[in-house]
Amino acid sequence: MQNTKNTTEFNSETLELVNKIIRRYPKGRQKSALLPVLHIAQSENSGWLSSEVMDYVASLLEIQPIEVYEVASFYSMFNLQPVGNCVIEVCQTGPCWLKGSEELLAHFEKKLGIKPGETTADGRFTIKTVECLAACGNAPVIQVGTEYHENMTNEKADELLSKWTAENKCSHTNPYL
């Protein structure tokens, strides 16, 4: 996305992809493209959705901005404030909690010096707590981008943090780009 003085727009390649997704749906039903378009918008906007970006998405889909805000604020996969390059989502539902996600979360907090919803000073890491990641049989689970990490332990968390720090990135991609 390019931020100019008063507009936020997709580049021509991304706009072509967005229009292709919108065309999948009948006229009058283009709102059905909202989730994939929000994923693209978030990916193009440093991992978060500003109100300007959500307004732009609404204009592309010919829907009211509130319809975009409602969806973006409902799903934990969308970030409504700036986040780090690596967003660590820790599942907090029953099975993960019973298998130690609370202790795992405390470990991430201690290692990174931040609480859920915060980003490290260097902008590398953000921690989020989320509801069910649908991998209960392999709890506790974290998600980073499109990658799941199951049967997590503090030792596995340390290995991942070391890897992501050394690579200066997390290995996650937007499935739509």
CATH code: domain of residue 25: 1.10.10.1590
Q: Encode the chain (177 residues) as per-residue pLDDT tens digits.
A: 544 333 478 999 999 999 999 999 999 999 999 999 999 999 888 889 999 999 999 999 999 999 999 999 999 889 999 998 899 999 999 999 999 999 999 999 999 999 999 999 999 999 999 999 999 999 999 999 888 999 999 999 999 999 999 887 775 555 555
Both 8 and 50 in a single domain?
Answer: yes
Among candidate residues 74, 98, 119, the one where a domain is terminated: 74
Integer angstrom CA distances of residue 74 from 35, 41, 88, 100, 107: 11, 16, 18, 26, 27
Q: Is residue 100 part of a domain?
A: yes
For the four alpha carbons of 134, 137, 141 and 145, in that order, the dihedral sign comes to: negative
54 Cβ contact partners less than 8 Å away, ≥ 6 residues apart: 38, 41, 65, 68, 69, 72
| 96 annotated as belonging to a binding site for a ligand | yes
Strand order in the sheet with 142-144: 125-130, 86-91, 142-144, 147-149
Integer angstrom CA distances of residue 145 from 32, 86, 89: 22, 8, 9
| 132 annotated as belonging to a binding site for a ligand | yes
| 91 annotated as belonging to a binding site for a ligand | yes
| 86 annotated as belonging to a binding site for a ligand | no
Q: Is residue 91 part of a domain?
A: yes
Domain that holds residue 40: 2-74
Among candidate residues 54, 74, 94, the one where a domain is terminated: 74
